[in-house]
Structure 1
Amino acid sequence: MISFNRIGSIALSVIVFLILLALKCAFNSVYQGKIKHRYEL
């Protein structure tokens, strides 16, 4: 049970990290797109 909890916590932290990384990449792409669009105008 202890090893299962440890694996579960590691997997949960990895999943949270991947979700945050994906949100950061999406936010950066949207932000850069807004900047590019603003400069094009």
Structure 2
Amino acid sequence: MSPKKRLNKGDSYKSSGKKVSASAKKKIFKVKKEPAKCWFL
């Protein structure tokens, strides 16, 4: 798991595995409407 390396793709919510609770949930919710397959992959 390299969150610092994933940040390069724009996985801000992966930068803090624990921050995904709120930061990622809000980003994923908005990304769900857009073709952001890279966000989850």
Normalising to structure 2: TM-score of the pair?
0.31
Q: Which has the larger radius of gyration?
A: 1
- Flag the structure with more relative contact order, 1 or 2, with Cα contacts below 8 A and sequence separation at least 6: 2
